[in-house]
Amino acid sequence: MLILSIILEGAVAVLAFMAARKRKPYLYGLAFTFGVYVLYDIARVVDVNVEAGILAVLFLLASLSALIAAWGLYQEQSS
């Protein structure tokens, strides 16, 4: 199940990156967010011991970038 999740998260990251390149730069935030999810899940699969503080910072940055992406989508729909 985790492998399937990694594949789906990777697909979202790639699609968001491709969409961001088409004059929707706020979607880089979504690509970053799902990229972090992929890295985290891969680290779990290969049993890499990552310090909790590093994970906390990464998830904070991922949440912030997702918020920026959502705000960009909202602004685009309001225009």
pLDDT tens for each residue of 8-55: 999 999 999 999 999 889 999 999 999 999 998 998 899 888 888 898
Query: What residues have CB less than 8 Å from 57, skipping those under 6 apart?
Result: none
* Residue with the two structure tokens 């970038």: 65
If one counts the domains in the chain, the total is: 1
What is the reported pLDDT for 6? 96
What is the reported pLDDT for 49? 84
What is the reported pLDDT for 65? 95
Q: Is 51 exposed, middle or buried (0-12, 13-18, 19+ CB in 10 A)?
A: exposed
At 68, the pLDDT band (50, 70, 90 cuts) reads very high
Domain containing 33 equals 2-78
Question: Quick one: DSSP state of residue 42?
Answer: H
